[in-house]
Structure 1
């Protein structure tokens, strides 16, 4: 059972997890963990399932998925019957007014839909995965000089469940460098997995890019793949001017994670997000929603 905080309704809710029986078995039983290491974490498993989700036969999954998880199809550009495959539905685009972007230049926005945790004044060698489990930024990105740039800075973790909108966007105007791929495994990013697999984010397939933002300094943008995520697709143009809220890319089928690192004294996260993180709860946020504010310079 995953309990998260709904900041709009100011109450806790229980997440309806896609494949929860499967996930609980995999990450809580000795046999399940054995199958995880032999089969489920491997690239070939996620790739084969990705091929199925790209095929026409997978369209049969769409109606049940919409009904089971109460997907709001009024937000989508396409109608239910217009999708060519399950992945076509999973990577669906939304109407422009479905996710209003907070235009205030001092406001930090969420890069996507999901459940967020936020941390400030970070120790690069003890980044929190869950209570009792930490990892190092150098192990996550493999670049010591770049890691040092974010010493005592801030970071946020946005977990996208399979039921969420799976396109991710830019948090500000700016210019983004070329995305770099890091090979890895395909563990689930569900909290059940995060509690069982040490340094999970450092083990999974991921991509990273440095975003030179107009208002929040240099931001390290990391996308982490997960079980059944066949691909991380980048759709932006590197080294070109980018507008706040514009699309950066999307994940194909599966739960996924976005991690953003900010330099020291660039961002202050909203107090409710800080409070819920300290209590051990994720907070549900949507693309374009304000999650923090720019630190004003004294100069």
Structure 2
């Protein structure tokens, strides 16, 4: 019988209303690294370290990396019609990777109603009405360590018992992230760390990668939702988290916040207790051990008060 870590990654597609199996970019390498003894040895000696991701990022920023773009589009059936620029004008694979989209490619749910929060990124989402409900989702017996993740015990107490959304981006996804609510964001706080993968292949071994990795924490002061924490997590081959917003300047929900350079990555959104009612389909699928594939701007939930 296969171990949980070796099982395929399945998710619920929100629009299609079906369960699909994920095509994992670099799956053979990921499984060797996290599921074999030799691979795990290389993980600690080499893979998790920032210099490897910087080197790979440098390669993906070289001019000769453009030859990877068209095969990637074809292999993963990307919709070029939504790209803001033609795929033929990118100067590197990295530039293509963090591409912008045309205006309107990601409609914002209820744009005039600030009581409705939206998903901050394209990807596979887990939603928990209470952060304590995240216990054991990826790794049996492991709880989400909020204090370690936020790097601040007092801040963790403020969000304890609140709602949490984990948005996992694959390399094939649109890699810009956005604000889920309207409000005024403070400057992002960097917490340095390792660069483990955030694929379920890795997280089934150790949920702690989410709070051991490099990450950035931004507190958004929302008139409707109170304090909201929007947190980006770097991962293997994702050494750069770039923030494009201006701190202390009001934003609308759906406004761009920043981007990831090459690789898979993750955004975690936290709400204080009693501030949001997450949409039922997201919560129910998460309770059934399924991530939900949905896109930035789709509805996340509604203010509870």
Cα 1:286–1:210 shift into 2, 3 Å: same
Query: What does residue 29 of structure 1 align with?
Result: 36
Distance 2:254 2:247 in 1: 16
Offset of 1:257 from its aligned partner? 0.5
Query: What does residue 224 of structure 1 align with?
Result: 233
Of 129, 134, 141, the residue aligned with 1:120 is 129
Of 134, 140, 153, the residue aligned with 2:162 is 153
- 1:116–1:285 CA contact under 8 A, matched in 2: yes
1:177 aligns with 2:190: no
Structure 2 residue runs of 5 or longer lacking an equivalent are 1-7
Distance 1:245 1:123 in 2: 27
Q: Name the count of aligned residue pairs.
A: 296
Query: What does residue 143 of structure 1 align with?
Result: 152
- 1:124–1:152 CA contact under 8 A, matched in 2: no
1:79 aligns with 2:58: no
Distance 2:90 2:297 in 1: 25
Offset of 1:126 from its aligned partner? 5.7
Query: What does residue 20 of structure 1 align with?
Result: 27
Offset of 1:230 from its aligned partner? 2.4
Offset of 1:122 from its aligned partner? 3.1
TM-score (normalizing by structure 2): 0.94
Distance 1:117 1:175 in 2: 25
Query: What does residue 247 of structure 2 align with?
Result: 238
Offset of 1:204 from its aligned partner? 0.5
Offset of 1:128 from its aligned partner? 5.6
Of 41, 46, 63, the residue aligned with 2:48 is 41
Query: What does residue 3 of structure 2 align with?
Result: none
TM-score (normalizing by structure 1): 0.95
Offset of 1:82 from its aligned partner? 0.5
- 1:169–1:249 CA contact under 8 A, matched in 2: yes
Of 57, 65, 68, the residue aligned with 1:58 is 65
Offset of 1:123 from its aligned partner? 3.8
Distance 1:215 1:93 in 2: 29
